[in-house]
Chains A and B, each alone.
Chain A
Amino acid sequence: MFPGLIYADEISPRFVSMNIVVCVKQIPDPAAPQSLEPSHNLNRTGKLILDEADTYGVEMALQLVDAAGTGEVTVVSMGSAADLSGVRNALAMGAAKAIIISDDALRGTDALGTAKVLAAAIRRVNPDLVIAATESSDGYTGTTPVQVAELLGLPSITFAKSVTIDGSTVKVARQTEAGYDDVTSPLPCLVTVTAGVVEPRYASFKGIMAAKSKPVEQLTAADLGLSAETGSAGARQHIVAVVTAEAREAGDIHVDEGDGADKIVAFLDSIKVL
């Protein structure tokens, strides 16, 4: 169905190397004030950083490649290439190369359009495993990774708390309402990781220097054979309005003078919680 992709039934019994794609996103610093442009797109004019949620996926991928012995990590990202410091950060952590799909025509692309772009780029790499965060920290749509998996014809395991590779199988502890499930899937597969799945490393000085010379391939939508379906014109949903939510009034605020706990108890009494 998708030339170039390895299908589960064609896989040799044991992988000799692990090639992993990690989908990452450069986002406006969540600590800075956020605003919408008149177009209702998120204002992205400030400095962009690597979404912290993606650092877990990059770290997980690096550890899995280390465990396999050979292979490499490729980061794939869609967004402006004007500021690549977020992608460079992933390279500085240890990813081997990056593909960034940057195109003014992609501004305003919705989640499915984004998935189409990412899927087309991932097809070029033909990885054993695709890793993404469960959702981005700016848009929070939370469906793009699974849309990518469906477009690539791959199985997916979302909300991974731990990930191990055993031969041609990926084993995941998947978060559930009650606790977690052990889930296995043949490779290739897409996995989304929760924060805390691993402790992301800080880029070393050596890593930062090395990242400067690592390959960053820049592609346009046209390079991937996509055009009409992406961008805000291709988004088949629109924002009707943005309204201010009903504000909650601030209430009684007291500075603790050793009586804070008693005041809380009195308040809980007044609302009949005690």
Chain B
Amino acid sequence: MTINNIWVVVEPSNGALTTTSLELLTHARSLSSNVAAITWGGDGAALAAQAGDYGAATLHDTGSLNNSLPGAPVAAAIAGLIASAGAPDAILIPTSYDGRDIAGRLSARLDRPVLTNITGLNDEGGLVSEHPIFGGTQIVKAAFTAEGPGIYVIRAKSFVAESAGGAAASVNTIAVGDTGATATATITSSHAEERTGPKLEEAAVVVSGGRGLGEAANYQLISDIAKLLNGAAGASRAIVDAGWVPYSHQVGQTGKTVKPTVYIACGISGATQHMVGMKGSKNIVAINKDPDAPIFQIADFGIVGDVHKVLPALIAALQARG
């Protein structure tokens, strides 16, 4: 099957496209010479240069959603575009809060299945997607067997974003159409958590803590080391579920995917759920008191020891270096 055309859902954030959106556009143009992007919020004209630079000829924009959550209206707009312009071979959607909503809504609207948690997508005489399972030890390769469009929800950092130097995309306004009661969820206010230091997904150094820290107060050790290394502080699902730190810190299958220069896992045993989110790190350092912890199987450097002793000593050593 030749891949004639691909649509990429690109997510606006503070007047620019998210990094994952650019990664998807970059990869889409390696699969097809006919790439269009779809966005929402009415900033289309401002985003067109960026979308074009990364390979989209056209940027379809729903315009303002009047504070509706994007899932239902954007899916309706895409369904409307398919009805008028025909279906593309594939629709690529970022794994994000809104991306997942759009994918689920679109799947049900079109009565087409959806493939999620994708970390690779290749043309093997038709598109074949890759999905890590069991902590990334095995890769499932999957394909759609029925009529398109295939809906692919792709994880962050699966591809590297590279500019193609293309001209600004032409902006096409698309209608949302009828959404019945589905688009009535409305954002009334937005709150930003205070953040110091680099973003988790972008930091060159990520220091993460897990259940081995013993109690919530000890997460301060993780924050301190992250700060000393000019890195970001992450967490395993276990301590996020326990309420020690916010979900935004979570690294893993259900959290963020990180690929820093060095990932320092402290008191993290290495549950499959966690490993898939950090396995792509260039270097992995693990500190755990259990020599049999699975994390040591993927660590480049490991210390079998008590985090309550090693981490304060590490802080002192880093402070001593200034």
**A and B physically associate:** yes
**In the assembled complex, A37 has its CB within 8 A of some CB on chain B:** no
Q: A240: which of B141, B273, B282, B297 is its contact (CB, 8 Å)?
A: B141
**In the assembled complex, A204 has its CB within 8 A of some CB on chain B:** no
For chain B, the count of residues having a C-beta within 8 Å of the partner chain is: 98
Given known A-B contacts A251-B300, A271-B262, A240 and B138 have beta carbons under 8 A apart:
no
**In the assembled complex, A134 has its CB within 8 A of some CB on chain B:** yes
Give every chain B residue within 8 A of A134 (Cβ-Cβ).
254
Measured between alpha carbons, how far is A23 from B298 in the docked complex, in Å? 36
Could you list some 19 contacts between A and B, CB below 8 A? A40-B140, A144-B104, A145-B104, A146-B71, A146-B105, A147-B107, A156-B71, A156-B185, A183-B185, A185-B184, A195-B241, A237-B145, A238-B143, A240-B141, A242-B141, A253-B304, A260-B309, A264-B285, A267-B300
Contact with B along A1-34 (1 / 0, CB 8 A): 1000001110000000000000000000010001
**In the assembled complex, A82 has its CB within 8 A of some CB on chain B:** no
B108 touches A273 (CB 8 A): no
Give every chain A residue within 8 A of B185 (Cβ-Cβ).
155-157, 183-185, 189
Residues of B within 8 A of A (CB): 13, 69, 71-72, 75, 96-97, 100-101, 103-105, 107-109, 111-117, 124, 128, 132-134, 136-146, 153, 180-193, 204-205, 229, 237, 240-243, 247-248, 253-254, 261-262, 264, 271-273, 279, 282-285, 287, 291, 296-306, 309-311, 313-314, 316-318, 321
Given known A-B contacts A143-B103, A155-B181, A176 and B247 have beta carbons under 8 A apart:
no
Expressed in whole angstroms, the minimum distance between the Cβ of A141 and any Cβ of chain B is: 5
**In the assembled complex, A268 has its CB within 8 A of some CB on chain B:** yes
For chain A, the count of residues having a C-beta within 8 Å of the partner chain is: 85
Residues of A within 8 A of B (CB): 1, 7-9, 30, 34, 36, 40, 52, 110-112, 115, 134-135, 137, 140-147, 149-151, 153-159, 161, 174-186, 189, 194-196, 199, 235-245, 247-248, 250-256, 258, 260-265, 267-268, 271, 273-274
Give every chain A residue within 8 A of B241 (Cβ-Cβ).
52, 195-196
Give every chain A residue within 8 A of B243 (Cβ-Cβ).
196, 199
Expressed in whole angstroms, the minimum distance between the Cβ of A50 and any Cβ of chain B is: 15
Please classify the interface of chain A as helix (H, G, I), strand (E, B), loop, or mixed, using the class held by over half of its residues.
mixed
Give every chain B residue within 8 A of A189 (Cβ-Cβ).
185
Q: B183: which of A9, A155, A241, A267 is its contact (CB, 8 Å)?
A: A155
A237 touches B302 (CB 8 A): no
Give every chain B residue within 8 A of A256 (Cβ-Cβ).
303-306, 309-310
Give every chain B residue within 8 A of A254 (Cβ-Cβ).
302-304
A251 touches B299 (CB 8 A): yes
A271 touches B261 (CB 8 A): yes
B253 touches A140 (CB 8 A): yes
- The interface centre, meaning the residue of B132, B141, B204 with most chain A CB atoms within 10 A of its CB, is B141
A182 touches B187 (CB 8 A): yes
B291 touches A112 (CB 8 A): no
B190 touches A244 (CB 8 A): no
A237 touches B184 (CB 8 A): no
B184 touches A147 (CB 8 A): no
Given known A-B contacts A158-B97, A178-B192, A274-B321, A261 and B186 have beta carbons under 8 A apart:
no
Measured between alpha carbons, how far is A30 from B253 in the docked complex, in Å? 13
Give every chain B residue within 8 A of A268 (Cβ-Cβ).
229, 262, 285
Q: B193: which of A9, A178, A238, A245 is its contact (CB, 8 Å)?
A: A178
Give every chain A residue within 8 A of B229 (Cβ-Cβ).
268, 273-274
B145 touches A236 (CB 8 A): yes
B301 touches A252 (CB 8 A): yes
B306 touches A248 (CB 8 A): no
Give every chain A residue within 8 A of B134 (Cβ-Cβ).
34
Q: A181: which of B128, B138, B189 is its contact (CB, 8 Å)?
A: B189
Measured between alpha carbons, how far is A268 from B317 in the docked complex, in Å? 12
A112 touches B262 (CB 8 A): no
B144 touches A112 (CB 8 A): no
Given known A-B contacts A254-B302, A262-B317, A268-B262, A150 and B114 have beta carbons under 8 A apart:
no
B190 touches A261 (CB 8 A): no
B97 touches A174 (CB 8 A): yes
Given known A-B contacts A196-B243, A236-B113, A254-B304, A155 and B184 have beta carbons under 8 A apart:
yes
